Structure 1
Amino acid sequence: MQFSHEINYIFLDYDGTIIENAEEEFLRNYFSLLSKKLDSTFDETLRLVMSSVQDAVANQDRMNLFEKFGEAISARSGKSKEYWIDKFLEFYNTDFDQLRQITQPNKEFVNVVNKTNKSLIFASNPLFPRIATYKRIQFAGLNPEMFYYVAHMENSTYAKPNPLFFKEIIEKLKLHPAECVMIGDSDFDKACEKVGIKFIHISEEEKWREIF
């Protein structure tokens, strides 16, 4: 596999890449725990949170996704943004840890990631706040400190598959797209190609081993 520049920065997806769990499996367990925390039904919680996430992602204002989500869920529920921030942070500090039990790291991939001297960029869809994102990294057997940059709700304006998600990161870090590669498992991740970042599917083991 030939690249025009040396690859120095590796963008990594999470669900289906760093971990073997499909995103749907994680979300099913996530909403089961969250609905109990909120004393609400699974369906009500799923509907409120996912519609608020969709509102936040569709909002093209320059606010970060955490602020957009807070405004969206407040508008949809009639409860204050502060109420929801407190509820979610309490959840992420406590019950969220139970999700470690169902997390299945992609062991071979994680071993390679742990040994690399390349600069790593955590580029999972930034739909969790920093506290939850850091915990998810730890659930997989990685250390948040090993990443050159970790995308999360508080430092992201856009979400995948919007290519502006990738553009924002390379502009913020002053990277050249040709020295970057994205490893993921979906067309959401492949949107990186629209800003000049090469994409490797997690199933293409020979290619990503060569990059590392």
Structure 2
Amino acid sequence: MKAFLFDLDGTLLLSDEESFYSTYFELLGKYTSDLVDSKKLLKSINDTFEKMTFENNEANNYQKFMVEMSKCFGNKMIDLEKRFEEFYNGPFKELKKLTRPNIELIKTMRNLDGLKVLATNPMFPEIAIRERMKWAELKDDDFTLVTFMENSHYLKPNPKYFLEIAGKIGVKPQECTMIGNDPVLDGACEKTGVKFVLVGGNDGRPESRIEG
């Protein structure tokens, strides 16, 4: 294999994902409650990502997100955008305590020969992805490419997400292996010819060998 695509949540960075996202939305809701209703914000975010999943226009994910959210909140999105950035520089960091690095898998990743991509579902802006990389004790030079909202045009499980990565790093899909914990989101890579290795259980161990 020439390239290895690693998911973040539940793969390189372990947590109880239900608890993590519940706390995430609770913190975000409180931090923006003076601007918008927290329940409306949560519903709008979920509806927006659902709509974005199989959108195939040329806008990047951040642009798509802002367009759809602006339909819900109008001019308030100007203030919300600034507040989101403040949130990721502040309260968001409290979520680190709910996570832990997958030390063994990270060691395996670093010992592999080939290109490595942090192929986390690009639903977060770069500022948030970089912060979460710190929680997993990952470095920028661990990866040839890191996917986030601003540099990605598709979301998992859209097969075009994986094709876009292969194109950016200059390899064929058949020369890539995706390592992740979600058979639906990560496993969608198999539709493009990318091999899939499932990471399962609380210990985050691959269920089959990652072959270089």
- The interval holding the TM-score normalised by the smaller chain is 0.7 to 0.9
Q: Which TM-score applies when normalising by structure 2? A: 0.87
Query: Aligned-pair RMSD on alpha carbons?
Result: 1.9
- For this pair of structures, how many residues does the alignment match? 204
1:69 aligns with one of 65, 70, 79: 65
Q: Is the 8 A contact 2:53 2:158 kept in 1?
A: no
Unaligned runs of 5+ in 1: 1-6
Q: Which TM-score applies when normalising by structure 1? A: 0.87
1:102 aligned to 2:104? no
Q: Percent identity?
A: 34
1:178 aligned to 2:174? yes
Q: Is the 8 A contact 2:54 2:155 kept in 1?
A: no
1:49 aligned to 2:45? yes
1:91 aligns with one of 68, 87, 104: 87
Q: Which residue of 1 aligns with 2:28?
A: 34
1:189 aligned to 2:183? no
Q: Give the alignment of 1:140-159 within 5 angstroms.
A: 140-159=136-155
Question: Residue type matched to 1:14 in 2?
Answer: L
Q: Which residue of 1 aligns with 2:209?
A: 207
Question: Residue type matched to 1:32 in 2?
Answer: E
Deviation at 1:152, TM superposition (A): 0.5
Deviation at 1:165, TM superposition (A): 0.5
Unaligned runs of 5+ in 2: 201-205
Deviation at 1:130, TM superposition (A): 0.6
Looking at secondary structure, tell me which structure has more helix per residue: 1
Q: Is the 8 A contact 2:32 2:80 kept in 1?
A: no
What is the CA–CA distance in structure 1 between the aligned matches of 2:159 and 2:54, rounded to whole Å? 13
